[in-house]
Amino acid sequence: MRWNRGPMSQNIEDMRGQGGGRGPGMRLGLGGMLLLLILSIVFKRNLFTLIGAGDGVQTGPAAELSPEAQAHEDSLALLVSAVLDSAQGEWAAIFPRLGSQYRPAKLVLFREAIQSACGFAESATGPFYCPGNEKVYIDLGFYDELTSRFGAAGDFAQAYVLAHELGHHVQNLLGIEQQVSQARQRHPESQNELSVRMELQADCFAGVWGATYQAKGGIEAGDLEEGMRAAAAVGDDRIQKMSQGYVNPEGFTHGSSAQRQRWFNQGFRTGDPKQCDTFSADPL
């Protein structure tokens, strides 16, 4: 994958360091975090919002990294910065054709744990998008796990992860997120199926960005295969098999490896977000 190591994107809030980066909020020690957590439970209210607007609070100083590990992480930060600006630039050009205007998301880089507008999250949560504040959250250590645990190495595999999360931002801006949320309330028995369709559409949107990147000469031999491996690596069936030794389709929330590959490839092959309607597709 060809990408330029330019300056960090203005849409990145780097919360990895001791000072909490450029993002909102402040740092608390572990004791302060525990106290706020207890008070939040007692008063049935998220008191973290009082000190950080519900966003950017981390549990004490982040772990120190060796110079080699820091350099590796900083290189990953530059990669996601390049992908972020590329993807958001493409969506800004696409949205008028969809009858809407694109609003950039923020990307929050954190280490170990963070309090987001969608709740407290740890590194084990994995990358996620919070529609409440239109931010994507990534602990860059996830990319090492993607390689070592899931066997999905490569910069385009890493780009796929961020492009997928930005796909959720696209859904939010287009009103799809709200529609699905309302459908979940009306049909709670269909929550898992609706979740799968949401995730597969985000995979397809990630593929749409991949198609635009390919059209501009950014894709190299083997990149599509990297993206497909990454999509397969985080399929529900594979994760269930790894974690519990068997597959339970009724417990799927993101889609099988085959489904995730199919929809990522659908977006990559067509380059058209209108071909990403997973909600009317049957079968997936």
Looking at residue 41, its pLDDT comes to 54
Looking at residue 52, its pLDDT comes to 45
Looking at residue 48, its pLDDT comes to 47
Low-confidence stretches of the chain (pLDDT beneath 50):
18-33, 36, 42-44, 48-54, 57-59
Q: How far apart are CA 31 and CA 158, in angstroms?
A: 35
Looking up tokens 């990534």, which residue turns up? Answer: 138
Edge-to-edge strand ranges of the sheet holding 12-14: 12-14, 106-110, 135-139, 128-130
Looking at residue 1, its pLDDT comes to 96
Q: What is the pLDDT of residues 95-145, one digit of tens each?
A: 999 999 999 999 999 999 999 999 998 888 899 999 999 999 999 999 999
The maximal CA–CA distance of the chain, rounded, in angstroms, is 56
Q: What is the pTM of this model?
A: 0.85
Q: Tell me the CB-side half-sphere exposure of residue 226, using CA atoms within 13 A.
A: 18
Residue 236 neighbours by CB under 8 Å, 6+ apart: 196, 247, 249, 251, 252, 253, 254, 255, 256
The DSSP-derived string for 49-68 is HHHHTTSSB-BSSPPP--HH
End-to-end CA distance of the chain: 29
Looking up tokens 């749409």, which residue turns up? Answer: 208
